[in-house]
């Protein structure tokens, strides 16, 4: 099991190149199931979750050819296997995204129900309900979703809860359905917009992506296309918080500032100096920060995937602030680990009250989920002495070469086996 060793106290400065967005690339990879032509993707990040998805698609029949750098060519001409087995789904919940496209193109799909997850129960009932509204017959037995449909029909679907992958699954299914589908209370995340852009390039007729109502006019088939995956807004936000906490100056390049308006606003409220261009964001700070309240909610509100990182920042800011998590029921597992570093945090229900302390102290801590591990890296960067973070396989799922990028910025961090 790998671990990260961090010697805290370095001021971080320089430029960091942002990678492609994991949560845009994952649904876009499954779009290869929607066409017999090839899908040429660029800016695909090299991450554990991406290779897991490529392995699953390969298992189904998609031929993936990695190209130079972050290119991947996907050929979904022959998909003899319409099943996503438990062994592959249990390591990555996003595997549920093969359900919509496979059912829409082949009229059948068998996908393992994703198991529970550390941050919450994360059901997929809205994915299933939406497909049933489009005429799918779905039976759940032995932990698998068996879906059948001669041809999906367009439907007007009001989603009870805003769900990102639910919106993405149904948007892909509707692209090949017979007639018009309206997704009301749809997720507005930038990753949904990026998927829609890719589907439209493949010939799909989609309007309203990025708003709460998405209208999809089904077409008989989709053709190949080339698409560049959008920059990862959560990786960007994580590095910007690192700059604010360490008292340095970091420019995130190849970024997409308009996807980070709420995060940039909160960093400015904390006292960091935030500037931006078309494709870069820079944060400069003297390390003296005010604690800022955050409350997570669907885009364009403050993103739940940045909650743990801002909790780390509040741990060393002056004053007290509340961190409220409204999306997931158990996304505070980083609190116990931050306390081991000396943080002063009290949790009641969905709200954590963080009282800033002058200094954190290095310790051995354990990563519990992807964004919690990022938060522990941030805390380790400012803690006195050495911090060792165990179980960093969580981190590798969502951050490309994070210790290399941080080392280039002046951090003292190394991976130990
Ligand atoms: C996506 O997960 C992201 N993952 C998550 O990022 C992100 O935290 C989350 O959206 C919220 O922004 C990918 O895009 C691959 P949801 P997803 O469905 O789609 C409830 C990361 O760190 N819900 O939007 O699984 C659910 O329980 C990951 O990169 C239902 O009740 O999240 C949750 O409370 C972590 N029924 C809420 O909706 C359903 O059918 C939002 O979940 C679906 C969801």
What is the predicted pLDDT for the residue at 21?
Answer: 98
Q: Ligand 1 centroid to 164 CA: how many Å?
A: 6
Q: Ligand 1 centroid to 163 CA: how many Å?
A: 6
* Per-residue pLDDT band at 379 (split at 50, 70, 90): very high
pLDDT at 117 over 90: no
pLDDT by residue (tens digit) across 338-363? 999 999 999 999 999 999 999 999 99
What's the chain's average pLDDT?
Answer: 96
pLDDT by residue (tens digit) across 238-273? 999 999 999 999 999 999 999 999 999 999 999 999
pLDDT at 395 over 80: yes
Q: Which atom of ligand 1 is nearest to the CA of 328?
A: 34
What is the predicted pLDDT for the residue at 119?
Answer: 80
SS3 sequence of the chain: CCEEEEECCCCCEEEEECCECHHHHHHHHHHHHHCCCEEEEECCCCCHHHHHHHHHHHHHCCEEEECCCCCEEEECCCCCCCEECHHHHCCCHHHHHHHHHHHHHHCEEEEECCCCECCECCCCHHHHHHHHHCCCEEEEECCEEEEECCCCECCEEECCCCCHHHHHHHHHHHHCCECEEEEECCCCCHHHHHHHHHHHHCCCEEECECECEEEEECCCCCCCEEEECCECHHHHHHHHHHHHHHCCEEEEECCCHHHCHHHHHHHHHCCCEEEECCCEEEEECCCCCECCCEEECCCCCECHHHHHHHHHHHHCCECEEEEECCCCCCCCCHHHHHHHCCCEEEEECCEEEEECCCCCECCEEECCCHHHHHHHHHHHHHCECEEEEECCHHHHCCCCCHHHHHHHCCCEEEEEC
pLDDT by residue (tens digit) across 23-39? 999 999 999 999 999 99
pLDDT above 70 coverage of the chain, percent: 100
pLDDT by residue (tens digit) across 65-90? 999 989 999 999 999 999 999 998 98
Q: Ligand 1 centroid to 27 CA: how many Å?
A: 13
pLDDT by residue (tens digit) across 298-309? 999 999 999 999
- Catalytic annotation present for 117: yes
pLDDT above 90 coverage of the chain, percent: 94
Q: Which atom of ligand 1 is nearest to the CA of 97?
A: 15
């Amino acid at each position: 099991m790998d671990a990260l060793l961090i010697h805290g106290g370095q001021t971080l400065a320089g430029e960091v190149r942002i990678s492609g967005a994991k949560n845009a690339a994952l649904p876009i990879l499954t779009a290869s199931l929607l066409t017999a032509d090839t899908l040429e993707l660029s800016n695909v990040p090299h991450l554990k979750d991406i290779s897991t998805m490529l392995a699953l698609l390969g298992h189904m029949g998609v031929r993936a050819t990695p190209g130079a750098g972050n290119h991947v060519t996907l050929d979904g001409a022959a998909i003899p296997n319409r099943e996503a087995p438990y062994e592959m789904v249990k390591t990555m919940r996003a595997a549920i995204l093969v359900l919509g496209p496979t059912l829409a193109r082949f009229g059948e799909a068998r996908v393992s129900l994703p198991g529970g997850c550390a941050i919450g129960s994360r059901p997929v009932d809205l994915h299933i309900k939406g497909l049933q509204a489009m005429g799918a017959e779905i039976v759940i037995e032995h932990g698998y979703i068996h879906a059948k449909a001669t041809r999906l029909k367009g439907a007007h679907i009001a989603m009870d809860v805003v769900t990102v992958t639910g919106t993405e699954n149904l948007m892909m299914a509707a692209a090949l359905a017979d007639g018009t589908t309206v997704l009301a209370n749809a997720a507005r995340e930038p990753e949904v917009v990026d998927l829609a852009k890719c589907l439209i390039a493949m010939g799909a007729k989609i309007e309203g992506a990025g708003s709460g109502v998405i209208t999809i006019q089904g077409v008989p088939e989709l053709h190949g296309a080339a698409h560049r995956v959008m920059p990862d807004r959560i990786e960007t936000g994580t590095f910007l918080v690192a700059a604010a906490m360490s008292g340095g100056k970091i420019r995130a390049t190849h970024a997409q500032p308009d996807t980070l308006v709420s995060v940039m606003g909160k960093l400015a409220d904390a006292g960091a100096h935030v500037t931006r261009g078309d494709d870069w964001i820079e944060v400069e700070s003297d390390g003296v920060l005010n604690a800022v309240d955050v409350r997570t909610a669907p885009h364009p509100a403050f993103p739940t995937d940045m909650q743990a990182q801002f909790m780390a920042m509040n741990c060393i800011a002056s004053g007290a602030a509340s961190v409220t998590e409204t999306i997931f029921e158990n996304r505070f597992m980083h609190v116990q680990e931050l306390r081991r570093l000396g943080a002063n945090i009290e949790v009641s229900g969905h709200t954590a009250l963080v009282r800033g302390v002058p200094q954190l102290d290095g310790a051995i801590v354990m990563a519990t989920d992807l964004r919690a591990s990022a938060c522990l890296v941030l805390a380790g960067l400012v803690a006195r002495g050495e911090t060792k973070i165990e179980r960093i396989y969580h981190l590798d799922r969502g951050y490309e070469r994070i210790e290399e990028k941080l080392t280039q910025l002046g951090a003292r961090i190394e991976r130990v086996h």
